[in-house]
């Protein structure tokens, strides 16, 4: 489908006319993932009024289905003024813009681009481009034949149907799971395009669009439109960026409940990043005001009552009063602190004495090739004579690591069946610990197999006491 839109003038060959045509995405020449700007090539089988001179490259391929030679033209597209999402090879596109001549070659300046197709050959390249490894050539041809016969060559409209997976299962002979995966791949790219179309208006980079689709799937666009603040907070946007989205949608309201809630969350996050786990309610209200003012909002300061209303609409924030003040917590941190305290109390409540042989100190000294000082020797029985959490402190160069190495050796003598795991907060500290103790060490996160979603999968044998 090549469509001539507007004639600009025949004497000047640059900006000759405005077009829309379809093809499949070939490759990037340059792409800025952050801004969406770039230059890429699109491959199309359609001809142009200016002839093949507008093509950067021409390839003739035999179509396996029709047994005819097809001329494919590679067109260079300039998207530096039209931010685009990330496209994988073979993605069917309809692009809008105009040709211009630069440095002895034709460039297509983009005004808009959409993932869409009405062409059998373009769809054939899409389904056989590697995006659908579970779909064979014969299966893809069966699907294209069905789409042509039912006049549904618009692949997006087909994928949006409720029974699309059932049709794929029947026409292509794939199982239910494979059919769902095919639909998911098609809709993922289209949904990223729709979400990025909104985010780009606020100068928000494409990775946030991909993250939004990852979290919300086919509901991402609807979720973003309905509640930009809630969606933005989850994908990591700032308040001013969400304000820009709301202004673009024509829905901006300074005292909107979702906006105040977002400001409260962002304020809490900033307080946490400064190393604090709580703040007073008065200081919190002032900080929320500063957060809002920082966005450039020219409305009056938010009253404390407006901030208080946030607490009645969310479970994430927690307000606890004492005799002197009202304290604001992030509920997750509050619960985590209580959980940590409860477990420390549990681990330190066991007063059972464990027999300790002082000769283990001399044995550790011999194994480490050194002689411990008085305080280092005193650390052995204090740590090894009872269970629970123990803290060994000391300034730089006082021998903490070498003392730990000796204590570990002594512990292994006392409990030969136990497994000792070494960990540290950072990778550098873990590496230093491994070098000093000559034992494997890792970060705390690696030891707990901690994921970004906050889940832990403990591996191996751990003593809980």
| pTM check: above 0.85 | no
Distance CA 420, CA 269 (A): 36
How is residue 62 annotated by DSSP? E
Do residues 320 and 370 share a domain? no
Strand, helix or coil at 264? helix
Angle at the Cα of 419 from the Cα atoms of 418 and 422, rounded to 5 degrees: 135
35 part of a folded domain: yes
Parallel/antiparallel/unpaired status of strands 317-321 and 92-102: unpaired
Q: Is residue 338 part of a domain?
A: no
User: H or E segment at 78?
Assistant: strand 69-78
Give the DSSP letter string of 31-44.
E-TTT--EEEEEEE
At how many degrees (to 10) do helices 359-368 and 374-384 cross? 120
Residue 377 sits in the same domain as residue 463? no
* Per-residue pLDDT at 4 exceeds 70: no
Phi-psi region of 43 (alpha: psi -120 to 50; beta: other; left: phi over 0): beta
Range of the domain at 265: 257-332
Q: Over the stretch 266-315, which tens digit does the pLDDT of each residue have?
A: 888 888 888 888 888 778 877 877 777 766 555 555 565 565 665 555 67
The verdict on residue 396 lying in a domain is: yes
Same domain (yes/no): 56, 112: yes
170 belongs to a structural domain: no
Residues 401 and 433 in one domain: no
CA-atom Rg of the chain in angstroms: 32
**Counting Cβ atoms within 10 Å, is residue 83 exposed (0-12), middle (13-18) or buried (19+)?**
buried
Half-sphere exposure of 451 (CA within 13 A, CB side): 5
Question: Of 344, 336, 340, which is closest to residue 277 (Cα–Cα)?
Answer: 336
Which pLDDT does position 369 carry in this prediction? 85
Give me the pLDDT at residue 222, please. Answer: 94
Among residues 120, 155, 187, the one where a domain terminates is: 120
Same domain, 238 and 304: no
Q: What is the pLDDT of residue 60?
A: 85
Last residue of a domain, which of 71, 102, 120?
Answer: 120
Helix (H, G, I), strand (E, B) or coil at 151: coil
Confidence band for 74, pLDDT divided at 50, 70 and 90: very high
Please say whether the dihedral angle defined by the alpha carbons of residues 25, 31, 33 and 37, taken in this order, is positive or negative.
Answer: negative
- Residue 280 pairs in a beta bridge with 327
Q: How far, in Å, CA of 323 to CA of 273, rounded?
A: 27
* Residue 92 and residue 7 in one domain: yes
Domain shared by 407 and 299, yes or no: no
For residue 409, tell me if it sits in a domain: yes
Please, which residues have CB within 8 angstroms of residue 59's CB and are 6 or more apart in sequence? Answer: 71, 72, 74
Q: Is residue 376 part of a domain?
A: yes
Work out the percent of the chain whose per-residue pLDDT is above 70: 88
Other C-beta atoms lying within 10 Å of the C-beta of residue 462: 11
Pairing of strands 105-115, 278-280: unpaired
Domain check: are 394 and 427 in the same one? no
How many CA atoms, within 13 angstroms, populate the side-chain half-sphere of residue 308? 7
Same domain, 399 and 436: no
In a shared domain, residues 30 and 89: yes
Q: Is the pLDDT of residue 3 over 70?
A: no
Count of other CB atoms within 10 angstroms of residue 410:
22
Query: How do strand 69-78 and strand 38-44 relate by DSSP bridges?
Result: antiparallel
Number of domains in the chain: 5
Domain boundary among 185, 216, 249: 249
User: Are 231 and 313 in a shared domain?
Assistant: no
In sequence order, the 6+-apart residues with CB closer than 8 A to the CB of 66 are none
pLDDT (tens digit per residue) in 423-465: 988 999 899 888 888 889 999 888 888 765 545 554 444 444 4
Q: What is the CATH number of the domain that holds 9?
A: 2.40.50.140
Are 139 and 178 spatial neighbours (Cβ–Cβ below 8 Å)? Answer: no
Least confident segment among 4-8, 26-30, 60-64, 350-354:
4-8
Residue 160 lies in a domain: no
Tokens representing residue 338 in the block: 């209580």
| Neighbouring C-alpha atoms within 13 Å toward the C-beta of 54 | 26
pLDDT digit string, tens, across residues 34-49: 788 899 999 998 888 7
- pLDDT tens, position by position, 117-149: 888 888 888 888 888 888 888 898 898 888 888
Question: Residue 312's domain is classified under what CATH number?
Answer: 1.10.10.10
Listed range (4-13, 186-195, 273-282) with the worst mean pLDDT: 4-13
CB-based contact 164:150 (threshold 8 Å): no
Q: What is the DSSP letter of 25?
A: E
Does 322 share its domain with 364? no
The burial class, CB within 10 Å (0-12 / 13-18 / 19+), for 298 is exposed
pLDDT at 12: 39
Q: Is 295 within a domain?
A: yes
3-state secondary structure of 318: strand
């Amino acid at each position: 489908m090549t469509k001539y839109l507007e004639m600009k003038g025949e004497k000047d060959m640059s900006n000759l006319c405005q077009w829309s045509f379809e093809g499949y995405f070939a490759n990037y020449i340059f792409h800025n993932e952050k801004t969406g700007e770039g230059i890429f090539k699109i491959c199309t089988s359609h001809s142009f009024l200016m002839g093949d001179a507008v093509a950067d490259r021409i390839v003739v391929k035999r179509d396996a289905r029709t047994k005819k030679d097809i001329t494919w033209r590679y067109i260079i597209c300039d998207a530096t003024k039209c931010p685009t999402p990330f496209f994988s090879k073979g993605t069917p596109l309809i692009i809008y813009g105009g040709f211009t001549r630069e440095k002895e070659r034709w460039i297509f300046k983009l005004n808009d681009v959409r993932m869409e197709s009405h062409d059998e050959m373009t769809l054939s390249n899409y389904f056989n481009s590697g995006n659908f490894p579970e779909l064979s050539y014969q299966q893809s041809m069966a699907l294209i034949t069905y789409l042509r016969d039912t006049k549904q060559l618009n692949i997006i409209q087909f994928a949006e149907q409720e029974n699309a997976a059932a049709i794929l299962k029947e026409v292509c002979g794939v199982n239910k799971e494979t059919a769902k995966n095919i639909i998911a791949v098609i809709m993922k790219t289209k949904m990223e395009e729709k979400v990025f179309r909104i985010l780009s208006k606020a100068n928000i980079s494409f990775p946030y669009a991909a993250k939004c689709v990852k979290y919300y799937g086919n509901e991402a666009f609807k979720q973003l439109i309905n509640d930009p603040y809630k969606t933005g907070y989850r994908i990591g946007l700032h308040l001013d960026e969400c304000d820009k989205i709301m202004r673009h949608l024509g829905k901006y309201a300074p005292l909107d409940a979702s906006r105040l809630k977002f400001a409260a969350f962002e304020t809490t996050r900033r307080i946490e990043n400064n190393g604090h786990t709580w703040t007073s309610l008065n200081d919190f209200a002032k900080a929320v005001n500063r957060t809002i003012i920082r966005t450039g909002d020219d409305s009056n300061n938010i009253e404390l009552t407006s901030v208080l209303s946030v607490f009645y609409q969310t479970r994430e924030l927690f307000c606890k009063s004492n005799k002197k003040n009202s304290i604001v917590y992030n509920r997750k941190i509050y619960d985590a602190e209580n959980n940590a305290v409860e477990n420390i109390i549990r681990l330190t409540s066991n007063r059972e004495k464990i027999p300790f042989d002082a000769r283990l100190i001399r044995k550790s000294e011999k194994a480490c090739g050194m002689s411990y000082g008085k305080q280092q020797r005193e650390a052995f029985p204090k740590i090894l004579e009872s269970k629970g959490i123990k803290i060994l402190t000391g300034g730089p160069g006082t021998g903490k690591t070498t003392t730990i190495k000796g204590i570990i050796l002594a512990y292994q003598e006392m409990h030969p069946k136990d497994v000792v795991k070494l960990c540290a907060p950072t990778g550098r500290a873990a590496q230093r610990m491994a070098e000093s103790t000559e034992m494997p060490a890792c970060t705390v996160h690696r030891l707990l197999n901690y994921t970004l979603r906050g889940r832990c999968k403990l591996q191996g044998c751990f003593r809980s006491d």
